[in-house]
Amino acid sequence: MGASEFGALPAAGVRVAIAAFFLLPLLLARGLGRTLTKQWKKIFFLGMLNSGIPFALYAYALLSISTGLSSLINATVPLFGALVAWLWLKDRPHGMKIMGLCIGFVGVAMLAWGKASFKPDASGQVTGWAILACMLACLCYGISASFTKRYLAGVPSLVIATGSQIGATLGLALPAIWFWPTQTPHLKAWLALLVVGVLCTGVAYVLYFRLIEKVGAASSLTVTFIIPVFAVIYGVIFLNESVTPWMLFCGAIIVLGTALSAGLLKPKLT
């Protein structure tokens, strides 16, 4: 609802700016400003990696594909997280986790096979680039989780959440201004980004980084299992989107593979 009127980069820029303005007073009230200044370089970099870039990629993707499809792809974040942790942190998966990685990516391939096209459709949209944008965003999320675990362990979640949104705001400021829409967005689009900025970014990231601190990067990424449920429901209610049986089938395969790769499912082999 926001991206359709603002465009990808302005929508992402407004989202992170709203989140930053919402979180900054909370940070200062808690007396954590000095903690942020000590780690600002790493946290600002994390902001672009975990918010600025993926938010812009998803906003771009949603101009061509449905929220339901994009959310099913988003469920692969733990798969990318496991791969990054394997290659970077040497957290090597074994047995069922490796099988889960394979199953999950097969599910993505099946889902994208009939949807991805690099030729413009009747409306001029190219779905193939949109799907690749979603997968690149998922890779960014996976890298961000390992980066947080390695370089920002022990930093309060409010500091990371606030600083990352400030960093993303600074990083997206010039592109957002450059691509700002010539026609003023309607109030509905502003309200949509306000909700996304405050609830789905500001509040959500405080909880998310606290999860990373408490249960680790890999386990925290499994919250993406819940996203498709809400995204599909919201898409049907607010945007009149349709959900096909094939999307649900491929989504089930993705969630199964991701659950295996994250160690949430541990079937006993006889």
Answer whether residue 27 is part of any domain.
Answer: yes
| Residue 218 placed within a domain | yes
Residue 119 lies in a domain: yes
Q: What is the rounded CA–CA span in Å between residue 126 and residue 234?
A: 23
Overall average pLDDT of the 46-53 stretch? 96
| Section 83-88 average pLDDT | 82
In angstroms, what is the C-alpha Rg of the chain?
18
Return d(Cα 187, Cα 156) in angstroms, integer.
Answer: 35
3-state secondary structure of 120: coil
Could you tell me the maximum CA-CA distance found in the chain, to the nearest angstrom?
64
* Domain contains 111: yes
CA pair distance 128, 112, nearest whole angstrom? 8
Residue 255: give the domain boundaries: 3-261
Q: Where is pLDDT greater, at 232 or 91? A: 232
Residue 97 lies in a domain: yes
Check whether 108 has a pLDDT greater than 80: no
How many residues does the structure list for the chain?
270
Number of domains in the chain: 1
How confident is the model over 241-258, as pLDDT tens digits? Answer: 887 888 888 888 877 877
Do the domain assignments include residue 157? yes
**Which tops the pLDDT comparison, 26 or 79?**
26
pTM reported for the whole predicted model: 0.84
> Is residue 266 assigned to a domain?
no
Residue 270 forms part of a structural domain: no
